[in-house]
């Protein structure tokens, strides 16, 4: 029996596997697809995800394959500048295709000892008070202490658990893919610029190797993948030309379904990423939201496996992450309305653009979209993540790579005695805070007794 089974080898499942391995947890990732998907579903990482990579020592390998963007257009495509004085050391979006993100996260997970089994489809999940059993296609079964469903919007795990997935069904779809074109890049760029004055959901741009990524609204909702003829027809309808597209590398479609799971946990089984929430890709928050789910759950689950997790710690995963997802869904709905082409939404879009010219409004929206504005309900002055800061011993994020908690003690008068196997101690600096392994502030003050209460709340009984 292994400690944790993760169903789904996408970015959420792979980051979660690596987080668990930081604490010595045995992890097996089961992915039904035999080969990595060629589809580029996401094109970038937001600030909080970039910070997560920095906190685990992974950022340099991602920066080597990505491009930093500090331009506007994140919120509903409104073309305003990047806000000044944003609360982070990483004030940019990292442009990087999801195929690369998936590959780098899988390489990291395997490096730290996770087992990734491709071509392993789960068809059944049962559980008792002590274990979870995953039945695989072909009749074999695997046992674990816990199981996490990271298997996407059509999650088999969620359906097997009978967890509801209410929300808004798909009413509008978009066709996308990578393909070659006979028109020259300058002509394509000029047409795209004109169309995007009114159709913000449209785009044709180079991706290298002579290919272009096409995104074009559909005029129907279907289950079948699109064909190159479907792409040509919609390009002609929307742009007046099909640019001579041909030789597709891959083709896909996505809809505007917006759904949130009724629960993130059923006994020893949890949901994370798209298995727990889906929404249109407006603003690019989907993959990032899943990574942040994994970062929240990993250390808590590791504590349960190790036996030190205090009562109720695992329940804080849903209590913290489900409201964040609900907020993202509403934030995405609002942006989707601003992208419509009727006179009312266009007038509202113009008004919002005027408001975003105010620095505080622009910064608020971008910090909310990039997840550095997330505040967990931990108490007054608590629940925010701490940005990277310089300490006498080095950068904060560089000191957090063990995945343990951390006490920053400005005066050097406090102690983590009894919890030193779970919490690091750093004296000096200009603040006194207890950080959880995910970097969120769990306590601040100067009382040793209050600190011990906070340590027990988040890290269990002292030793």
pLDDT digits (tens, 9 = 90+) for 258-267: 999 999 999 9
Average pLDDT, the chain: 95
Q: Tokens for 438, please give them.
A: 């995910």
**8 Å CB contact between 156 and 7:** yes
Cα dihedral: 448, 454, 460, 461 (round 10): 30
Among 3.30.2010.10, 3.40.50.300, 3.40.630.30, 3.30.70.2450, what is the CATH number of 173-255? 3.30.70.2450
pLDDT beyond 90 at 197: no
Reduce the secondary structure of 360-387 to three states and give it as a string.
HHHHHHHHHHCCCCCECCCCCCCCEECC
pLDDT of residue 200: 82
106-152 pLDDT, tens per residue? 999 999 999 999 999 999 999 999 999 999 998 999 999 999 999 99
What are the CA-CA distances from residue 157 to residues 153, 162, 260, 268, 408 (Å)? 10, 9, 15, 12, 40
Q: Tokens for 332, please give them.
A: 């995405």
pLDDT of residue 185: 94
284-329 pLDDT, tens per residue? 899 999 999 999 999 999 999 999 999 999 999 999 999 999 999 9
pLDDT of residue 404: 98
pLDDT beyond 90 at 38: no
pLDDT of residue 208: 83
The highest-level CATH class for domain 390-459 is alpha beta
Handedness of CA 418, 423, 428, 429 (dihedral sign): negative
Bridge partners of residue 204, in order along the sequence: 214
pLDDT of residue 239: 96
The highest-level CATH class for domain 2-167+259-369 is alpha beta
Calpha distance 454→461 (Å, rounded) = 11
Handedness of CA 349, 353, 355, 361 (dihedral sign): positive
In this prediction, residues 66-79 reach a mean pLDDT of 88
Sorted by where each begins, the domain ranges of the chain are 2-167+259-369, 173-255, 390-459
């Amino acid at each position: 029996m292994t400690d944790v089974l993760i169903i789904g080898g996408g970015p959420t499942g792979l980051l979660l596997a690596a987080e668990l391995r930081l604490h010595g947890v045995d992890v097996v990732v089961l992915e039904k697809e035999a080969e990595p998907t060629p589809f580029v579903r996401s094109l970038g990482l937001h600030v909080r995800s970039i910070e997560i990579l920095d906190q685990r020592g992974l950022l340099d390998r991602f920066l080597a394959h990505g491009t930093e963007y500090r331009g506007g257009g994140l919120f509903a495509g409104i073309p305003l500048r990047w806000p000044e004085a944003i609360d982070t050391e990483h004030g940019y979006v990292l442009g990087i295709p999801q195929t690369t993100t998936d590959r780098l996260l899988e390489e990291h997970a395997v490096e730290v000892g996770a087992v990734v089994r491709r071509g392993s489809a789960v068809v059944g999940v049962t559980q008792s008070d002590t274990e979870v059993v995953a039945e695989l296609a072909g009749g074999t079964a695997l046992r674990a202490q816990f199981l996490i469903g990271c298997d996407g919007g059509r999650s088999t795990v969620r359906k097997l658990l009978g967890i509801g997935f209410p929300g808004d069904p798909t009413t509008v779809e978009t066709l996308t893919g990578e393909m070659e074109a006979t028109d020259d890049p300058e002509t394509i760029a000029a047409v795209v610029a004109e169309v995007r004055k009114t159709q913000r959901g449209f785009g044709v741009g180079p991706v290298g190797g002579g290919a272009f990524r096409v995104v074009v609204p559909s005029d129907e909702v279907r289950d079948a993948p699109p064909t190159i003829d479907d792409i040509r027809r919609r390009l002609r309808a929307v742009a007046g030309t099909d640019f001579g597209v041909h030789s597709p590398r891959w083709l896909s479609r996505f809809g505007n379904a917006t759904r949130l799971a009724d629960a993130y946990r059923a006994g020893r089984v949890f949901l994370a990423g798209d298995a727990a929430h889906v929404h249109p890709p407006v603003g690019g928050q989907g993959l990032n939201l899943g990574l942040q789910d994994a970062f929240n759950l990993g250390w808590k689950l590791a504590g349960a496996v190790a036996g030190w997790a205090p009562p109720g710690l695992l329940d804080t995963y849903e209590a913290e992450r489900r409201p964040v997802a609900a907020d993202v869904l509403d934030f995405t709905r609002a942006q989707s309305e601003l992208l419509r082409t009727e006179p009312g939404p266009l007038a509202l879009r113009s008004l919002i653009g005027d408001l975003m010219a105010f620095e505080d409004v622009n910064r608020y929206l971008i910090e909310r979209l990039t997840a550095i504005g997330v505040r967990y309900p931990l108490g007054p002055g608590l629940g925010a993540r701490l940005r990277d800061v310089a300490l006498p011993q080095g950068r904060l994020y560089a000191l957090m790579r063990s995945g343990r908690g951390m006490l920053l003690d400005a005066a050097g008068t406090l102690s983590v005695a009894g919890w030193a196997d779970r919490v690091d101690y750093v004296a000096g600096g200009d603040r006194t805070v207890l950080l959880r392994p995910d970097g969120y502030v769990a306590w601040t003050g100067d009382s040793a007794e209050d600190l011990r209460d906070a340590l027990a709340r988040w890290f269990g009984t002292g030793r």
